[in-house]
């Protein structure tokens, strides 16, 4: 098992990392400790950075993976002959794995961080029709041909079942691994610093819901909107808005470590890695019931609301602003200690090829 040929296909965090990219790196590090033979491949996926020639024929090595263009990737499949392939983050180019699987004996795991078609249909209305069709086809192939579908939450599984008929024997739900970042010392806090993170112009992130809830705040508060430098929002005079550009993950955690309240007012968030990380930094968390991460967390500083309930969010913000700084220091993630074991067990079950 330790020397089995395994390929992990993903997009790892770069200068401005995404949640799935951070999770992919965490999972990769866990698996490499138990399966040293794992090889990780990435594609040159950013069309604004890489030329067409590089996307077709390019090759580059970095600390964690090998980046390959389309033709080197196909050649790698044919030469390496993996027995297990894990699509850890969605990319259209991984479609060649399906053709490989049709002709060679291998197992396929597909990790579902979010349902792409659901996002395109409900939130990302500016996606060109041609790309929409390609994404829909690729995702359908991954759902259809994967031997195991790894969902990061019940939330994303429920969403996916509205678009795909899923064989129950394929399903496994394992939450994202979460690093314990509890600080040695609590930083001094004022109680009135609120953080929102995400693209403020994406409707599913829920910033408009948060801003509506701030209209009746009587106490002076600071709201840090991380992910935008554009000041296009108006609130009452007691609310000061600060626009912070997207930053590296470690910088982000350092930035929020002395804040008081993190708000995730999402219409849809299949996991929400920031929620447990902010809890570990002793912030109060306000999250909607649509956030997948809350399925696995039990903590007195986690406050769950329903999306769009402006009055409830306003009352909760007022209550938390008046409270003393957070002193709880524990974050409980259900079966967190078993996440590593479950990932290893998943691989072992697929490496037994009959």
What is the C-alpha separation between 241 and 49, in angstroms, rounded? 32
pLDDT in tens, 33-46: 888 889 999 999 87
Choosing among 3.40.50.1700, 3.40.50.2000, 1.20.58.1690, 3.40.190.10, the CATH entry for 6-175+336-351 is 3.40.50.2000
Domain 6-175+336-351 identical in fold to domain 193-333: yes
| Predicted TM-score of the model (pTM) | 0.83
What's the pLDDT at 184?
45
| Domain boundaries, given as residue ranges, for the chain | 6-175+336-351, 193-333
pLDDT 10s digits, 114-144: 899 988 888 777 788 998 999 999 999 999 9
At the top level of CATH, which class does the domain 193-333 belong to?
alpha beta
């Amino acid at each position: 098992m330790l020397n089995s040929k395994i390929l992990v296909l993903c997009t790892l965090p770069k200068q401005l990392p995404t949640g799935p990219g951070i999770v992919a790196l965490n999972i990769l590090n866990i698996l490499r400790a138990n399966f040293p033979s794992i090889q990780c491949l990435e594609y040159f996926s950013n069309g604004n950075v890489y030329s067409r020639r590089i996307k077709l024929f390019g090759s580059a090595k970095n600390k964690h993976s090998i980046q390959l263009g389309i033709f080197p990737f196909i050649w790698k499949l044919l030469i390496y002959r993996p027995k297990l392939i894990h699509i850890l983050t969605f990319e259209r180019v991984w479609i060649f794995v399906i053709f490989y699987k049709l002709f060679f004996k291998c197992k396929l795991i597909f990790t579902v961080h979010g349902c792409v078609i659901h996002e395109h249909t409900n939130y990302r209305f500016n996606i060109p029709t041609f790309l929409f069709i390609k994404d829909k086809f690729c995702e359908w192939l991954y759902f259809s041909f994967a031997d195991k579908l790894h969902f990061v939450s019940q939330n994303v599984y429920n969403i996916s079942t509205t678009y795909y008929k899923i064989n129950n024997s394929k399903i496994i739900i394992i939450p994202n691994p979460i690093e314990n970042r509890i600080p040695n010392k609590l930083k001094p806090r004022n109680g009135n610093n609120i953080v929102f993170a995400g693209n403020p112009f994406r409707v599913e992130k829920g910033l408009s819901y948060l801003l509506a809830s701030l209209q009746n705040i009587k106490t002076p508060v600071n709201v840090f909107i991380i992910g935008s430098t554009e000041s296009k929002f108006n609130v009452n005079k007691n609310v000061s808005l600060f626009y912070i550009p997207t930053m590296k993950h470690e910088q982000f955690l350092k930035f929020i470590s002395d804040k008081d309240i993190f708000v995730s007012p999402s219409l849809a968030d299949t996991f929400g890695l920031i929620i447990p990380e902010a809890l570990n930094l002793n912030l109060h968390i306000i999250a909607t019931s649509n956030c997948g991460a809350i399925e696995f967390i039990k903590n007195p500083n986690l406050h769950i609301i329903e999306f769009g309930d402006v009055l409830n969010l306003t009352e909760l913000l007022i209550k938390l602003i008046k409270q003393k700084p957070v002193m709880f220091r524990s974050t409980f993630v259900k079966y967190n200690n078993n996440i590593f074991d479950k990932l290893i067990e998943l691989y072992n079950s697929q490496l037994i090829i009959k």
